[in-house]
Amino acid sequence: MKDLDTVARDQVLVRNVHEGDLDALVSIDAAAAGRRRERFLQKKLSQALTDTGIAMSLGAEFDGHLVGFLLARVYYGEFGVMEPSAVMDVLGVHPDYRGRHVAAALVDQLRTNLLGLGISTLQTEVRWDNPDLLSFFQHEGFTIAPRICLDLDLARTRT
Ligand SMILES: CC(C)(COP(=O)(O)OP(=O)(O)OC[C@H]1O[C@@H](n2cnc3c(N)ncnc32)[C@H](O)[C@@H]1OP(=O)(O)O)[C@@H](O)C(=O)NCCC(=O)NCCS
């Protein structure tokens, strides 16, 4: 493997993810999220690969190793909105490869793919206590959506 300091942005290979990438996705995500989310990622990956038939989930490789990924989906007519839009569910870059524009390359490729399908909006959600993701998204041009997310505690509010 090359000295990481010599790795430049144009050495990132962005490709579609496939079923065989699950273990790598779980490892990268565990390093990012602090816990292994195997079933969650298996479900999301399977949804991403089969629901739309459109390749919206991408992996980033250095020297043949998957070091980052994102999982996204396309929606048609959700929440009463007729225009198709895309949602990014998960994004993660292995800690050893951060700061080398891996995530930016993934988002760039997703943007190209979505625009090619005539989709002009990408939505995502981020925990307010995840400053890394918030800062990255802000840097990429994401803005606060004109919607309010609501949660209902079903058990607590049961009468
Ligand atoms: C956020 C994250 C995806 C960024 O990945 P990355 O590959 O290091 O980001 P990039 O190198 O592509 O950054 C692109 C730009 O965003 C900026 N940026 C990235 N992370 C940043 C941060 N934490 N604070 C401020 N700016 C940041 C970079 O400085 C860079 O700017 P530049 O082009 O001016 O140099 C990565 O840190 C990560 O995986 N964090 C954990 C995510 C997580 O919690 N996932 C689980 C829940 S989905």
Gap from CA of 30 to ligand 1 centroid (Å): 16
SS3 135: helix
Question: What sign results for the dihedral spanned by CA atoms 128, 106, 87, 96?
Answer: negative
- Give the count of beta carbons closer than 10 Å to the beta carbon of residue 67: 22
Q: Which residues line ligand 1 (CB under 6 A)?
A: 32-33, 90-93, 98-104, 130, 132-133, 135-136, 139
Structure confidence at residue 85 (pLDDT): 85
Gap from CA of 34 to ligand 1 centroid (Å): 16
From CA 88, how far away is CA 61, in angstroms rounded?
Answer: 19
Q: Which domains does the chain have, with CATH numbers?
A: 4-140 (3.40.630.30)
Find the mean pLDDT for residues 26-52: 85
Average pLDDT, the chain: 86
SS3 85: strand
Q: What ligand 1 atom has the least distance to the C-alpha of 107?
A: 12
Residue nearest ligand 1's atom 22 by CA? 132
Structure confidence at residue 123 (pLDDT): 93
Q: Are 21 and 61 in contact (CB under 8 A)?
A: no
Span 51-107, pLDDT tens digits: 655 658 899 998 889 999 999 988 776 556 667 889 999 999 999 999 999 999 999
Span 45-61, pLDDT tens digits: 888 777 655 658 899 99
